[in-house]
């Protein structure tokens, strides 16, 4: 199925368009239902305080639908993406003539990350995008300043990630280059060689982890500032009920959780960009 095709995310999307489209549609349905929950909890709170249980029943129906769609999506995803991993692995090994076993072994593991990205990170990103849009719309319905604060936080967050994108790519290239040599190093059965190899991996992983820690610390500080601002603004400038306050805080926090998916996905894409160049035969030995 993937014969003579470049082994990339775009190729996988094109060759498995039907199954990917279906799983993404299920993801959209699941996310839309999830996004409605805080709003209907707010409605239910106000309704119950007024001795009206209609909104509570509506909330129960949304939760039941969410459960059903979530189960169906997960059952289907395992089968669809499992097939994709098999075809990708078969294509990679089939074009590996003359490539050392150590390199093929490492690249086979790396190639699975392309499917992992489609199965886990892209649906999470789609969910985050839907939740971001719903959050901004709901916050805007309460007051435009709440949604403007969300937009400003998102711009700052993406800007912070952009500063370190090149560093993530370089460190991932260094890590993958070292991983490709692992089987050969183990076959040599040199204690000093194995120790040196593990120490190189450790140093690169520490650099990656440290970079992530600083970036996500800065991003989270921005998003927490957004939460505090919205809480203060809602209390001082909006006529609110208990249910309204709950909805504003819930959607502000939902925005934060969804926004955090963007740099995570961008970081994943940095790693995948390096992997796709590597498994398609480009020499990245000097990338680190």
Residue 2 lies in a domain: no
Assign 283 a pLDDT band (cuts: 50, 70, 90).
Answer: very low
Residue 284 lies in a domain: no
In sequence order, which residues have a C-beta less than 8 Å from that of residue 125 and are 6 or more positions away? 261, 262, 265
User: What pLDDT, on the 0 to 100 scale, is given for residue 156?
Assistant: 87
Q: Which range marks the domain in which residue 211 is found?
A: 9-279
Residue 1 lies in a domain: no
What does the pLDDT average to over 152-158? Answer: 84
Assign 176 a pLDDT band (cuts: 50, 70, 90).
Answer: confident
Assign 288 a pLDDT band (cuts: 50, 70, 90).
Answer: very low
Q: How many helices (H) and strands (E) does the chain have?
A: 10, 0
User: What pLDDT, on the 0 to 100 scale, is given for residue 206?
Assistant: 93
Mean pLDDT (the chain, rounded): 82
Start-to-end C-alpha separation, the chain: 33
Structure-token match 């309204």, residue found: 244
What does the pLDDT average to over 30-41? Answer: 82
Residue 209 lies in a domain: yes
How far apart CA 279 and CA 113 sit, in angstroms, is: 12
Task: Count other Cβ atoms within 10 Å, centred on residue 207.
Answer: 16
Sort residue 3 into left (φ over 0), alpha (ψ -120 to 50) or beta. Answer: beta
CA-closest candidate to residue 148, choices 160, 137, 159, 157: 137
Residue 36 C-alpha from the chain's centroid: 21
> Is the pLDDT at 138 greater than 90, yes or no?
no
Residue 50 C-alpha from the chain's centroid: 40
Sort residue 281 into left (φ over 0), alpha (ψ -120 to 50) or beta. Answer: left
Q: At what angle do helices 242-259 and 144-179 cross, to 10 degrees?
A: 30
How far apart CA 182 and CA 186 sit, in angstroms, is: 6
> Is the pLDDT at 35 greater than 80, yes or no?
no
What does the pLDDT average to over 142-152? Answer: 87
User: What pLDDT, on the 0 to 100 scale, is given for residue 230?
Assistant: 85
> Is the pLDDT at 237 greater than 70, yes or no?
yes
Residue 102 C-alpha from the chain's centroid: 29
Percentage of residues in the chain having pLDDT higher than 90? 4
> Is the pLDDT at 284 greater than 80, yes or no?
no
Residue 220 lies in a domain: yes
Residue 287 lies in a domain: no
Identify whether the C-beta of residue 280 lies closer than 8 Å to the C-beta of residue 172.
Answer: no
What does the pLDDT average to over 253-269? Answer: 78
How far apart CA 125 and CA 269 sit, in angstroms, is: 12
In sequence order, which residues have a C-beta less than 8 Å from that of residue 114 and are 6 or more positions away? 7, 8, 9, 12, 88, 272, 275, 276
Domain count, the chain: 1
CATH code for position 228: 1.20.1560.10
CA dihedral 249, 252, 257, 259 (to 10 degrees): -170
Residue 286 lies in a domain: no
pLDDT tens, residue by residue, 74-121: 899 888 888 888 888 888 888 777 777 777 877 788 888 888 888 888
> Is the pLDDT at 287 greater than 50, yes or no?
no
Assign 282 a pLDDT band (cuts: 50, 70, 90).
Answer: low
Q: H/E element holding 97?
A: none
Q: What DSSP state is assigned to residue 119?
A: I
183 vs 15 pLDDT, higher one: 15
pLDDT tens, residue by residue, 184-200: 888 788 888 889 988 99
pTM passes above 0.85:
no
175 vs 282 pLDDT, higher one: 175
User: What pLDDT, on the 0 to 100 scale, is given for residue 285?
Assistant: 42
Residue 97 lies in a domain: yes
Percent helix / strand / coil, the chain, rounded to 5: 85, 0, 15
Structure-token match 């959607």, residue found: 251
């Amino acid at each position: 199925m993937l014969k003579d095709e470049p082994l990339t995310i775009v190729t996988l999307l094109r060759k498995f368009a039907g199954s990917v489209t279906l799983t993404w549609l299920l993801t959209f349905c699941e996310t839309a239902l999830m996004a409605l929950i805080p709003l209907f909890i707010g409605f239910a709170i106000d309704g119950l305080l007024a001795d009206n249980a209609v909104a509570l029943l509506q909330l129960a129906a949304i939760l039941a639908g969410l459960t059903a769609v979530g189960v169906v999506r997960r059952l289907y995803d395992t089968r669809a993406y499992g097939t994709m991993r098999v075809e990708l692995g078969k294509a990679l090994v089939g074009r590996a003539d003359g490539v050392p076993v150590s390199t093929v072994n490492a690249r086979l593991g790396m190639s699975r990350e392309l499917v992992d990205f489609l199965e886990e990170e892209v649906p999470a990103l789609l969910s985050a995008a839907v939740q971001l849009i719903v959050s901004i719309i709901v916050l805007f319905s309460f007051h435009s300043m709440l949604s403007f604060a969300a937009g400003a936080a998102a711009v700052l967050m993406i800007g912070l990630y952009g500063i370190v994108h090149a560093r993530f790519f370089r460190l991932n290239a260094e890590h993958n280059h070292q991983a490709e040599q692992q089987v050969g190093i183990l076959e040599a059965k040199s204690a000093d060689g194995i120790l040196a190899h593990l120490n190189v991996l450790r140093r690169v992983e520490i650099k990656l982890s440290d970079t992530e820690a600083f970036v996500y610390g800065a991003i989270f500080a921005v998003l927490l500032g957004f939460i505090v601002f919205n809480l203060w603004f809602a209390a001082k400038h909006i006529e609110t009920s208990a249910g309204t306050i709950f909805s504003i805080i819930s959607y502000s926090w939902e925005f934060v959780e969804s926004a955090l998916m963007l740099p995570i996905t961008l970081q994943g894409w940095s790693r995948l960009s390096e992997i796709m160049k590597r498994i398609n035969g480009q020499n990245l030995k000097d990338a680190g």
